[in-house]
Amino acid sequence: MKTKVAIIGSGNIGTDLMIKIIRLSESLEMSVLVGIDPDSDGLARAKRMDITTTHEGIDGLLKMPEWKDIKIVFDATSAKAHVYNWNKIKAFPDKKMIDLTPAAIGPYLVPPVNFLDNMDVPNVNMVTCGGQATIPMVAAVNRVAKVHYGEIVASIASKSAGPGTRANIDEFTETTAAAIEKVGGAERGKAIIVLNPAEPPLVMRDTVFTLSEQADREKIKASIHEMVLEVQKYVPGYQLHQEVQFDDIPESDPVFIEGLGLRHGLKTTVLLKVVGAGHYLPEYAGNLDIMTSAARATAERIVG
């Protein structure tokens, strides 16, 4: 029997996640799509697909008869709205929350890196699109050589950055940087997001820089390739854009890292691109696709 789920947020992310669950999931059943705009395209699409909806937000969901059978709730709203939603839902111990906002009330979760550490937590946070794309690479290096510093640059098509993304830019950089440290294993993390206005829109590109202890470069490269395969299990459009690159930072010419001081070692550069599956969003919106795919993968692992 499939596990019933609800999605709060009828925008691009919530609607794409709904379609992924309906089309792809063998263990999850879409129960209710929740919004606040009765005229949103997401709610209209859900109705056409015979999915129950409410435009009264979390308060409307709690009044619905479907609520008692729902076991997992995805939050695809905003960091501020998530605080309100979680304060309502945490009173129900039989429900789990998967947070796709940068609110980070619960622990950060990147499925191939730390799912087993958080499988029983009532509220998990999916970090950010940049975090989902890049933290696996930082972790892949860190499991071979201790990472002193991890820096990521996420470049996404301006057209794929909706009002929620634009309103949460500060939270994006802070949450991603913190997760580079807590999940990726870096002593220090930094995140940068670039909204690319190019026409036609370009797919998501991510650059990952790590400075680690010296280690066997072939082992690091193999670890990165293995991690790419793990992410591809739920995000088929995730791929290395170029082969992994290495540079020595000699002890005689160290670099200064804020908070750490002078460091030397091995610099690893990983260049990625993420092509969306095109379920609801265009293929160039890989940044949104990796978030919804990671959230679905997390829910499916929770229910076994």
Q: Where are the beta strands (DSSP E) in the chain?
A: 3-8, 28-34, 52-54, 70-75, 96-99, 123-125, 147-157, 188-196, 204-212, 238-240, 245-249, 255-257, 261-263, 265-274
Distance CA 137, CA 237 (A): 16
Distance CA 170, CA 5 (A): 30
The dihedrals phi and psi of 154, each to the nearest 5 degrees, come to -105, 120
List Cβ neighbours of 234 (8 Å cut-off, separation of 6 or more).
111, 293, 294, 296, 297
Distance CA 79, CA 175 (A): 11
Tell me if the bond preceding 136 is cis, omega within 30° of 0.
Answer: no
Classify strands 188-196 and 147-157 as parallel, antiparallel or unpaired: parallel
**CA–centroid distance for 247 within its chain:** 29
Q: How far apart are the first and last CA of the chain?
A: 12
- The count of residues in the chain is 304
Asked if 37 contacts 54 with a C-beta cutoff of 8 angstroms, the reply is no
Active site residues: 129
